[in-house]
Amino acid sequence: MKRTTARTTTPAPRLLIALAALALAFLLLPLIGLLLETPWAQLPALLTTTTATEALRLSIITSLLAAAVATILGVPLAWVLARKEFTGQRLVRGIVLLPLVLPPVVGGVTLLTAFGRRGLVGQYLYDWFGIQLPFSTAGVVMAEAFVAMPFLVITVEGALRNIDTRYEQAARTLGASPRTVLFRITLPMISASLLAGIVLAWARALGEFGATITFAGNFPGVTQTLPLAVYSALEVSRDEAIALSLVLLAVSLTVLVSLRGRFLGSRS
Amino acid sequence: MSVTARVITRIGDFAIDAQLEARPGETVALLGPNGAGKSTMLKAIAGLVAIEDGCIRIDSAAVDEPASGTFIPPEHRRVGMVFQDYLLFPHMTVRQNIAFGRKPRKMPADKNNDDDTWIHALDLTDLLDRKPDQLSGGQAQRVALARALATNPRALLLDEPLAALDAATKQTVRGELRQFLQRFEHGSILVTHEPLDALVLADRIVVLEDGRVTQVGPTAEVASQPRTDYLAALLGVTLHRGLATDGVVACETGGTLIASTSITGSVIAVIRPQAISLHTHKPEGSARNVWRTTVTAVEAHHDQMRVTLAGPPQLTAAVTPAAVAELGIAPGQQIWASLKATDIAVHPA
């Protein structure tokens, strides 16, 4: 992708141009609609209601925690998938990628069956420790991490496959233990992809709706994140829903723009 | 310190069974064609691959011996390795690269001095704050060397250390590397497929072909007495295997060579292309070997012309371009060739 100047193209068929324009319009019009309907004058008031500020605070906290969980658990998983060969590897990769294609609401149901009060693990957590994950803020983090982790795993696994492992061998001959190699060679060498994976996972967690509402419910101040607040507001105040949507749109757009630089910009 | 290795291992269908030794202060070249198993041997000594059988010792202590269940991981072997394309860590400066392998438990002041010694000796003072992608090939090679030496290694392994350099740089760096290796107090093992590297840098040559050692000896001896077709081609000499009877060699590929020794038995005869004379008429003289033969090819080779003769025996003669012009030598032409018996080196094989 370094040389873009010497691109030779055949002239585009008119139909293609027309359809491309239609596609762009399809994606752009809802955004324009949102901006046109935004009650700009009341925006400060709408975004400072208790519901809005609590939802925003909760969204930021839970999405950051979910991104942290996805990173701490996802990087080792990506490393194992990229570097080790074991039987059932394809199955494991399938399981890792499943939340990408699974309807989030189904993800929420599966979480309930595992961690609900009568779930596979959840019943013991509750009986023995009194821990109840569903319908709690921790449940929100779990639901978000569940859907966000695959983004991190595939990004990091791809990066781990692409780096030259001989750098790691060189580090070993210089006296570095496997742990030192991981932290001083491997992770720094994939830092750009790792950061991209973390940001993608965080953005996915921030926008999470289906799994959260199924597994954690929709309680203001406890589990009602921004997307859930938008959903609830829609029934009461269209203006508030639009104002909250605008916040999510702004965040998503910022993430995309910063990631675009990461992915397409030249290194160093 | 010394390194001794008997490496027995398999990579897929490819089997390696080879041994080599590098004594303190000695540089041993592991010379062989691509895919002969040279790099695998080097990796085995470094601890980057485990051997299946045999034994690798550094200064008489086993670091990999499957029979006794010994395997010391690479980070504890203290073997410095310089990789073919140097593998300088791209996210670190030259200074950080060199400091990477420094042992933290030693006194900082003491170790700094150690690093500095190599930084000065290898002329890296001005490059310390650069990133690897801002270095020339020769500079990167010196940094890789300094990085390996900063760990105070007990042996040095160099994997094709000149292969990544362009021809002009190669010559300079080869000379620098030679000077360095002569001062290095421990054993060094140099992997190369380039005979000139081995001839210039090594005290001894171990020739590895298809996973087996085919020749071992002091550099000068291996250069003048190559025992295999591979080596003979590299060193630019003609080699004939055959059966000698009192110095007369019946070549396996046909033809006879008369040598000046009275050797009998299975032999390898080595002929330098420069020793062969070409004539348009039957030569009258002292040369014991005279043939009438056909020219099969004529090609320029540096400042000489290489004339291939059909034989038997098949031979290559090196003559001046002027001689080619004067004698009108061209492929298909009938010609006389002569060779003194004393110019045929015959080795028992």
CB contact under 8 A, B75 and A185: no
pLDDT per position as a tens digit, B262-318: 878 777 777 888 888 888 888 887 778 888 888 888 877 667 778 888 878 888 888
Residue B102: pLDDT band (50, 70, 90) is confident
What are A's interface residues with B at a Cβ cutoff of 8 A?
164, 166-167, 169-177, 184-185, 188-189, 191, 268
pLDDT for residue B148 is more than 60: yes
| pLDDT number for residue B2 | 87
Least confident of B42-51, B204-213, B249-258, B261-270: B261-270
Residue B115: pLDDT band (50, 70, 90) is low
Closest residue by Cα to residue B112 from B122, B102, B120, B121: B102
| pLDDT number for residue A263 | 53
Q: Which residues contact B112 (CB under 8 A, 6 or more apart)?
A: none
Residue with the larger pLDDT of the pair B99 and A9:
B99
pLDDT per position as a tens digit, A144-163: 999 999 999 999 999 999 99
Residue A261: pLDDT band (50, 70, 90) is low
| pLDDT number for residue A6 | 52
| pLDDT number for residue A143 | 96
Kindly report the pTM of this predicted structure. Answer: 0.73
pLDDT for residue B179 is more than 80: no
| pLDDT number for residue A182 | 95
pLDDT per position as a tens digit, A171-219: 999 999 999 999 999 999 999 999 999 999 999 999 999 999 999 999 9
The shortest C-alpha distance from B11 to chain A (Å) reads: 17
* CB-count burial class (<10 Å; 0-12, 13-18, 19+) for B18: buried
Residue B79 touches chain A, beta carbons under 8 Å? yes
- Chain A residue numbers with beta carbons less than 8 Å from the beta carbon of B89 are 167, 170-171, 185, 189
CA-nearest residue to A187 within chain B is B91
Residue A1: pLDDT band (50, 70, 90) is very low
In sign, the C-alpha dihedral spanning A68, A73, A74, A80 is positive
CB contact under 8 A, B75 and A176: yes
CB contact under 8 A, B75 and A167: no
Q: With H, G, I as helix, E, B as strand and everything else as coil, classify residue B153.
A: coil
- Chain A residue numbers with beta carbons less than 8 Å from the beta carbon of B134 are none
| pLDDT number for residue A268 | 37
Residue B109: pLDDT band (50, 70, 90) is very low
- The owner of tokens 């593998």 is B87
CB contact under 8 A, B151 and A175: yes
Kind and range of the H or E element at A115? helix A104-115
Residue A68: pLDDT band (50, 70, 90) is very high
Residue with the larger pLDDT of the pair B259 and B156:
B156
Residue with the larger pLDDT of the pair B46 and A267:
B46
**Residue A58 identity:** L
pLDDT per position as a tens digit, B199-246: 778 889 999 999 999 999 987 677 656 777 787 667 666 767 788 888
Tokens, residue B152: 């105070």
CB contact under 8 A, A174 and B103: no
The Cα-based distances of B196 to A148, B160, B291 in angstroms read 57, 12, 33
- Best of A163, A166, A174 to substitute, by most chain B Cβ atoms within 10 angstroms, is A174
Assess contact for B313 and B255: CB atoms under 8 A.
Answer: yes
CB contact under 8 A, A167 and B74: no
Mean pLDDT across B315-329: 81
Mean pLDDT across A7-35: 90
Report the distance separating Cα B187 and Cα B28, nearest Å.
Answer: 8
pLDDT for residue B13 is more than 70: yes
Mean pLDDT across A242-260: 85
pLDDT for residue A30 is more than 50: yes
Which range scores top for mean pLDDT: A148-152, B98-102, B148-152? Answer: A148-152
CB contact under 8 A, A172 and B90: no
Average pLDDT in chain A: 89
Average pLDDT in chain B: 84
Q: With H, G, I as helix, E, B as strand and everything else as coil, classify residue B137.
A: helix
Residue A142: pLDDT band (50, 70, 90) is very high
| pLDDT number for residue B298 | 81
CA-nearest residue to A189 within chain B is B91
Q: Is the peptide bond before B313 cis (omega within 30 degrees of 0)?
A: yes
Report the distance separating Cα B223 and Cα B232, nearest Å.
Answer: 9
Which of A167, A175, A188 has the CB atom closest to B101's CB atom?
A: A175
Q: Which residues contact B44 (CB under 8 A, 6 or more apart)?
A: B5, B7, B9, B50, B51, B56, B64
Output the CA torsion B137→B139→B140→B141 (10° steps). Answer: 90
| pLDDT number for residue A22 | 96
ipTM value of the model?
0.77
Report the distance separating Cα A74 and Cα B83, nearest Å.
Answer: 32
Residue with the larger pLDDT of the pair B238 and A106:
A106
- Chain A residue numbers with beta carbons less than 8 Å from the beta carbon of B77 are 173
| pLDDT number for residue B265 | 78
pLDDT for residue B324 is more than 70: yes
**Residue A169 identity:** Q
